[in-house]
Chain A
Amino acid sequence: AQKITQTQPGMFVQEKEAVTLDCTYDTSDQSYGLFWYKQPSSGEMIFLIYQGSYDEQNATEGRYSLNFQKARKSANLVISASQLGDSAMYFCAMNGGGADGLTFGKGTHLIIQP
């Protein structure tokens, strides 16, 4: 069984500051993938970034980077230079060796203040 823990239910951050959203995971799979999705108030799920368990480099996509620490089982999302449009729910998720979909955390509600 897989488990994702997001310990920050909500965060307030000033515009232009960097943001770190925490994610820890638990799995018995040797190979797995870690994902971050953004859900704005309009409700859709937007893929942000992916990290494979065997990837040696941390994933980056524009202003998003994933701070992957395998020994600590953490996969934190870092948003550099936050913008008002970054205000949303953020979900960490993972999948493993089987076909049984993604396991999601409960999410972090990020609010960017001007």
Chain B
Amino acid sequence: NAGVTQTPKFQVLKTGQSMTLQCAQDMNHEYMSWYRQDPGMGLRLIHYSVGAGITDQGEVPNGYNVSRSTTEDFPLRLLSAAPSQTSVYFCASSYSWEMNTEAFFGQGTRLTVV
């Protein structure tokens, strides 16, 4: 019973490098989202998707790109890493975007940009 799987768990990048954080869910959830967690800031929404082929920006989308080619996968791409993107990243999925739907979170990816 995997739920939401994120890879990698830890990553160190140099400034300017690009990389993709992977997220996969096996619950057939339509809604998927990416958050970043910074100390003292709570979690903030980066991008979200209400279904395959549909994505939209959240509160802090700059420097990140997403796509949703399948229901299961929702990768997050860092185009040119910056130290300000050092954070813990969480992928989440839920049955729908409606307000009474619990979000299931992955284990998180701790990213450091040097």
- In the complex, A98 Cα to B56 Cα: how many Å? 12
* A27-44, CB < 8 A from B: 31-33, 35, 37, 43-44
Tell whether A45 pairs with B44 under 8 Å between CB atoms, given A99-B31, A100-B58. Answer: no
Cβ-closest 8 pairs across A and B: A33-B99, A99-B97, A104-B42, A45-B105, A101-B45, A104-B43, A106-B42, A101-B33
| Dominant secondary structure at the B interface | strand
Contact B90–A104 (Cβ < 8 Å):
no
Interface range for B: 20 to 34
Contact A91 B45 (CB under 8 A): no
Contact A95 B40, CB 8 Å, known A44-B105, A102-B45:
no
Known: A35-B102, A44-B107, A50-B102. A106 touches B40 (CB 8 A): yes
Query: A-contacting residues of B (Cβ < 8 Å)?
Result: 31, 33, 35, 40-45, 48, 50, 56, 58, 88, 90, 92, 97, 99-105, 107-108, 110
What interface size band does chain A fall in?
20 to 34
Give the A-B contact count at a CB cut-off of 8 A: 68
**Which of B31, B48, B100, B102 has the most CB atoms of chain A within a 10 A radius of its CB?**
B100
Cβ–Cβ contact B102 & A99, under 8 A: no
Assess whether A43 is in contact with B42, with CB atoms less than 8 Å apart. no
Check A91/B105 contact, CB under 8 A, given A50-B100, A99-B56. Answer: no
Within the complex, the shortest CB–CB distance from A12 to chain B, in Å, comes to 19
Q: Are A43 and B99 in contact, CB atoms less than 8 angstroms apart? A: no
Q: How far is the CA of A91 from the CA of B43 in the complex (A)?
A: 9
Nearest CB in chain B to that of A49: its residue: B102
Which of chain B's residues have a CB closer than 8 A to the CB of A96? 99
Contacting residues, chain A, for B107 (C-beta < 8 A) = 43-44
Q: Which residue of A lies closest to B34 (CB)?
A: A101
Residue of B whose beta carbon sits closest to that of A29: B99
Please give me the residue from chain A that is nearest to B43 by CB atom.
Answer: A104
Set B48, B58, B90, B110: member contacting A45, Cβ < 8 A: B90
List 18 contacting pairs A-B, 8 Å CB cutoff, sorted by A: A35-B103, A37-B105, A45-B90, A45-B92, A47-B104, A50-B100, A91-B42, A93-B43, A95-B99, A96-B99, A97-B99, A98-B97, A99-B56, A100-B45, A101-B45, A102-B33, A102-B43, A104-B42
